[in-house]
Chain A
């Protein structure tokens, strides 16, 4: 039973590769434009 909650098992947990790739692509596509004190978000395809 103790093995189920071992530190090793928790450390191995990680998000799907697709999720990480989505985040990296999201970051690449996101642009923040600033006009005076306003900020606008835009996505580049």
Chain B
């Protein structure tokens, strides 16, 4: 073990002095262990490849800048860099979640129809038709305000101008229209939910 560490230290020193072949030896010597470590965390070959590359880019830049402190711990140092980059990877993914597609790509995992399906659409149409029939039971003045507000999407100011009553009266008629509508629904035990 000490022999290997000494060799690493020698190779690092040699690399810093300009011997590019030393880096090749270091990478070949430790690539399996570092790559396996990264893969064991991310379980994705492409991601592992990227992190392995980023790890050694960092190693190369640090060594060339002369900022590496040789303590005979080259491999633990590289593993620490890889570990930090794995953490960065998961942090980044947490902020920007991706769609996972292991194996066959399924377009419906990224696309969905937000509209109602045929069955729900039929139920919705039935409920709306029932409500239209129910509101006919309301007194004329309340019915008029409710239709203008709900079906014609008019404001209470517009309703008051059209019907010639105050806004407060229009609001009151709307309130009583809803109260009476609920009473009719309860009286007939109707279920008007989708």
Q: Do A and B bind each other?
A: yes
Give the number of residue pairs across the A-B interface with Cβ within 8 Å.
52
A15 touches which of B24, B52, B61, B65 (Cβ 8 Å): B52
A12 touches B32 (CB 8 A): yes
How many residues on A have C-beta within 8 angstroms of the other chain's C-beta atoms? 20
Contact (A19, B52) CB under 8 Å given A10-B36, A28-B20: yes
**Is chain B's binding surface mostly helix, strand, loop or mixed?**
helix
Using C-beta atoms within 8 Å of the partner chain, give the interface range for chain B: 20 to 34
Complex formed: what's the CA distance from A24 to B25 in Å?
10
Q: Which of A18-43 contact B (CB under 8 A)?
A: 19-20, 22-24, 26-28, 30-32, 39, 41
List chain B positions with a Cβ less than 8 A from chain A: 20, 23-24, 27-28, 31-32, 35-36, 39-40, 48-49, 52-53, 56-57, 60-61, 64-66
